[in-house]
Structures are given as structure tokens and as C-alpha cells.
Structure 1
Amino acid sequence: MMTTTSPPPVTEAMLLRDFSLEMTGKDTSKLDEARGAIPPGTRINVTYLGNENLQMRLDAARAVNGFGFVPVPHISARRLTSRDELKVFLAALREHDAQAQVFAVGGDPAQPHGPYADSLQIIRSGLLQEHGVRGVGIGGYPEGHPQISRETLWSALVEKADALAAEGLSGDIITQFGFDANAVLTWIEEVRGRDIELPIRVGVPGPAGVKRLMTYATRFGVGTSASIARKYGLSLTNLMGTTGPDRFLTALAAGYDAARHGEVKLHFYTFGGLDTTSRWIDAFRKGLK
């Protein structure tokens, strides 16, 4: 009689293979301090914030490249004032060999500053391939978005995945950070049910103060009910405490099934604590061995 064996259980260490990080232009000096704790070749996303200029973004991408990591510059569609501004940015990235992978997002402004209302228009612009871009990350929202309906989010995700394929670009999905591993896994199953096979990088909040995490969660519309907060390790009565994502990672690993969820990796939001997050990940990985 033929017997079958079940695949080995997924561990936190397996999910932590090929994780990615996020930094701002202001974190460039901190990258030098953090690099000893970051594996070579790690993807590091560089944000496109309103209080940063072109030089800050380029300096950050160049530093990422120079230290042996893979820069993934953000392109904030609604912050761009013109097609020429996008061309200048992409050309500058290419000059520093930092253009191969980008992350396209609509961005915070409610109204576009120029011709691009969303990241789909960036993908379809034709400028990415023209400047050597090969892969584009797009956003995912397992717990929804405070200003966008669920139906609109799903429609946009499908459209962007189809557009990447039509434009000959590879891609992945980077989710907004969250605290509820079950909600994330349920959302990933629905992504696969809609025939989207792009790799997914689950957004994870790096270790930070409880008050700071709650502030970011409120800002981005992330669910933080009392039960979820307790499960994650947040103390709603001690906002001065700190917490790391270890409970979230354990729950995510316990519920992850490659057959249902496909390719899943992790993306860490550092909230300005690039060195702290990098060292936390390094220590956590070593503790799993």
C-alpha cells in the first residue's frame, strides 16, 4: 500500500528567508549602522515621501546599492507633478543602477499633483521598461483601506496584476502591515482565488513602542480591536511599553499552507527604526536555530 507523507510544518525561519525592509531618505546614515545585521542581497524599499526631495531618495537608493543590498525605490503616483518628473526620477535611478525593481503606489495626497491618479497609470505609462525597470511591486490591503471600498481594492489589484503581465513586467504584492495573522491568511487565499499568482510579501511592523504602533495603525486603518491587540502582544493599558512581531510571525507560520497561499515572504516596516528592526530580525532568526 502506497503511503504519503505530509510536508514538514512551516516555521518562522522559513518565512524569514529573503525578507525585505523599508527605509526613508532620512535613514541613509542609519543604514551604515544596521548593515551588519542585514543579509547581503536583501531588498530594501526606499520611500517617496512628501518631505523628501529627489537627492534624498537617490542618496538612499545609492547607499542601499553600495552596501550590497537591492534598492526598491517607491514611485508615488499622486505626488508626481508631470510625466517629465517621472522620467527624471527613473533616469536618475538608472544612472545609479537602482532602477531594476520599483514599488508603485498611489500615495497619500487625496488629489493628484499631476497626471497620475494611481499606480496603474504608472505601470501603463511605458516609461518603466524604457528606463530599465524589470519588476514592480504593488500594494495589498488585507484589512482594507479607510478611504477605499473593498470592491475597488480588489478590482484595482486584479487590474494591476493583469497590467504587469501585459507590460512584460514581473512583480510582487507588498501588504500593509497588520496584527491579525488569520485575516492576512484569509486575504491571501482570496487573492489566489482570483487567479493572482504574484509572490506576496506580508507587511510586518518592526519592534516599536505600543503607542507608536497604535498611532500608525489608526493612520492606515489597520484593525486593532482589543482581542487582536492582546493576541499580538500590545498592551492597551501600558502604551509606554514596546513589542515585537514574534507572536504575529508564529501565528502566520502556523497557519501558512503553500498549497493554498502560494509564495509568501515578509516585508518589515521599520517606522524610522531601521537599525532596531534589523537587529531584532537578526536576533530572532538566530534564536530559531
Structure 2
Amino acid sequence: MSNLCNSSVGFAPYTLEVTGKGIHEVEQARAAIPAGTPINIAFLGNEDHAQRIRAAQVIRACGAEPVPIISSRRLRSEADRDELLGALVAQAAPKRFMFVGGDPATPAGPYQDSLALLASGVLERHGIEQVVITGYPEGHPKVDSGELMRALKWKLDFLRETGCAVEITTQFGFDAEAVVRWIEQLRQQGIDTPVRIGVPGPADVGKLLRFARQFGVATSASILRRYGLSMTNLMQRVGAERYWDQLQAGLGGRQLGRIGWHLYPFGGVEDGVNWINARLGGLDESRR
């Protein structure tokens, strides 16, 4: 495989995520979003390619960096893949893409998972030079931890051979100790890839728990208590301050490589961006 990818990439203090239907929130919050911030575009089953392309255009127009998420199992065919990626490149010029397996139990087309999609020649065909892959510090409800690690290593080895710049973005969670242990495990195995830790912005307790079930995140009573969540008041709006503080304590003074943040703004983009801007304003440059 040809070495077509640039191995160096800027590392923004944080990234965030939006849906095609919620792209207006980026326009409303653009003054609070630092210029050049990478914004991931979710690949939902109830949205179409036109919405995904439009979201990328809006993000670009707002001075941020669109990062389309490509759900392998939702792609209907090779032609469907090329139609979507070709339009994204032509109309929004994203510098990086994120490749995931996706939720459907049965693939809509030829790609069983993101490994199959990466191996299909998609990088060369569309000149993709920077790739984001997903990490699961708290595990995955449908895949055992050993298989998750094997898949992660396969992707990293494959992308390293192409020369691609790579980042790992984790699912959001509640267990800061599990996240720190997972990063330690990566580093002990010689994996020095930059990691972005997924953190949720302020949201109602009920909404956080719904997303946790959707993402397969563990929500034991003890973990929820540490996070400061109360099952008796699902309408209570909470921020991730405890989780954030626990992560800072676990990471503090450690040589764990380049670590950043990925915001899941379940309670709204503007509130989430203001929340993480305030958190990062209190960190020195070496910890961002």
C-alpha cells in the first residue's frame, strides 16, 4: 500500500460531536467554539447523506473542521460509499474521517465492520490522510475486551503502514478509573497514539442514562454515585465535574502521552462548549 498519508496533525484542545439534524446548534454556538475545532458528524440511521453533507458544509462555514463519521454497516454498497465520501470531499474538504462499525446487527451492504471498510481501499480512493478510530475503555456490550483490543491494534497497524495520522476517541463513560487503566494498558503495550477522552456536557440525568444504555456504557449504582447522579430525580441537570476531576486526578503527574478531550454535548452544543471551555481554562498548556 502506498504511503499517501501525512503523519503529522495538529492536536486541538478538544473535539465535539453533532448530528445532521442538530447542526443549527453549531451555528448558534459558533462564537464560543474555538476556530478550527474538529466537530464529528454522527452517522444516524434516521438521517440521509444530504443531511450529513450539509452538516459538514455548515461546520466548515463556521470556521470549524468537519469530521464525518462513517458507519461501515450502514453503507449500502461500494457506490454508496463513494457517493457519500466523494461529495463530502468535494463540498466540505474534511481533513479527517472517523470510521466505526455502526449499530445495525445486519450490515446494509458489503462492510461487516470498520476493518473491512478500511481494507476496501477507501483511504487511497478518497485521498484520506487523517483517521480517527474509537476506543472503549469501559468495554462494549456486544464485543469482548480481547477482541476490542485486537481490532484496535489491527487498525493502528494498518493505518501506520499507510502513514496516516491517527487519533483514538473514546466513548463517553462514568468510570474515570477504568479510563485511566485503559490508557495505561495502551502505553504499556507500546501504543503511543494520541487519545481523546469522551466526556458528556451538562445534561438531564435521564438523558445521560438513555445515552449510556444506547452506547452500552456501564451504569452500576456505585459508579453513578461517584458521578453524582441520583436515580430519584431524572430531570436534574448535571455536569461532569466529578468525572472531570477524577480524570484529572488519575492523569495528573503521569507520563501517559498526548491526551485530549472529546465533548458529547447531549444537553446542547452551546452549554457543552461553554462548560468545557471553562474546564480547559483552568488547565495549563501541558495538560490540554
Using structure 1 for the length normalisation, give the TM-score. Answer: 0.90
Aligned-pair distance for 1:145? Answer: 0.5
* Pair 1:118 & 2:102 matched: no
Equivalent residue, structure 2, for 1:238: 233
> Structure 1 CA distance, aligned partners of 2:44 and 2:92?
21
Equivalent residue, structure 2, for 1:276: 271
Equivalent residue, structure 2, for 1:7: none
Equivalent residue, structure 1, for 2:48: 53
Equivalent residue, structure 2, for 1:38: 33
Equivalent residue, structure 1, for 2:8: none
Aligned-pair distance for 1:287? Answer: 6.5
Aligned counterpart in structure 1 of residue 126 of structure 2, from 128, 131, 141: 131
Aligned-pair distance for 1:20? Answer: 0.5
> Structure 2 CA distance, aligned partners of 1:22 and 1:90?
19
> Structure 2 CA distance, aligned partners of 1:258 and 1:26?
41
Aligned counterpart in structure 2 of residue 254 of structure 1, from 238, 244, 249: 249
Equivalent residue, structure 2, for 1:182: 177
The answer as to whether partners of 2:12 and 2:37 remain within 8 angstroms in 1 is no
The answer as to whether partners of 1:90 and 1:128 remain within 8 angstroms in 2 is no
Percentage of matched positions with identical amino acids: 47
Aligned-pair distance for 1:102? Answer: 0.4
Structure 2 unaligned regions, length at least 5: 1-10
> Structure 2 CA distance, aligned partners of 1:202 and 1:152?
21
The answer as to whether partners of 1:124 and 1:167 remain within 8 angstroms in 2 is no
Aligned-pair distance for 1:219? Answer: 2.3
The answer as to whether partners of 2:70 and 2:99 remain within 8 angstroms in 1 is yes
Structure 2 counterparts to residues 50-89 of structure 1, below 5 A? 50-89=45-84
Give the partner amino acid of 1:31: V
Aligned-pair distance for 1:205? Answer: 1.2
Structure 1 unaligned regions, length at least 5: 1-15
Give the partner amino acid of 2:243: F
Structure 2 counterparts to residues 216-231 of structure 1, below 5 A? 216-231=211-226
Aligned counterpart in structure 2 of residue 208 of structure 1, from 186, 191, 203: 203
Equivalent residue, structure 2, for 1:159: 154
Change beyond 3 A, Cα 1:181–1:226: same
* Pair 1:101 & 2:96 matched: yes
Give the partner amino acid of 1:252: L
The answer as to whether partners of 1:72 and 1:98 remain within 8 angstroms in 2 is no
Instruction: Count residues with an aligned counterpart.
Output: 274
Give the partner amino acid of 2:15: S
How far does the alpha carbon of each residue in 1:173-225 deviate from its partner, in whole angstroms, 9 at most, with x for none?
Answer: 11110111111000111112222221111111111000111111122221222
How far does the alpha carbon of each residue in 1:72-122 deviate from its partner, in whole angstroms, 9 at most, with x for none?
Answer: 100000000111111111111111243320000000001111111111122
C-alpha RMSD of the superposition: 1.8
> Structure 2 CA distance, aligned partners of 1:286 and 1:202?
17
Using structure 2 for the length normalisation, give the TM-score. Answer: 0.90
**The residue matched to 2:261 in structure 1 has which SS?**
strand
> Structure 2 CA distance, aligned partners of 1:52 and 1:83?
19
The answer as to whether partners of 1:43 and 1:72 remain within 8 angstroms in 2 is yes
The answer as to whether partners of 1:27 and 1:272 remain within 8 angstroms in 2 is no
**The residue matched to 2:142 in structure 1 has which SS?**
coil
> Structure 2 CA distance, aligned partners of 1:177 and 1:115?
29
> Structure 2 CA distance, aligned partners of 1:111 and 1:167?
29
Give the partner amino acid of 1:138: I
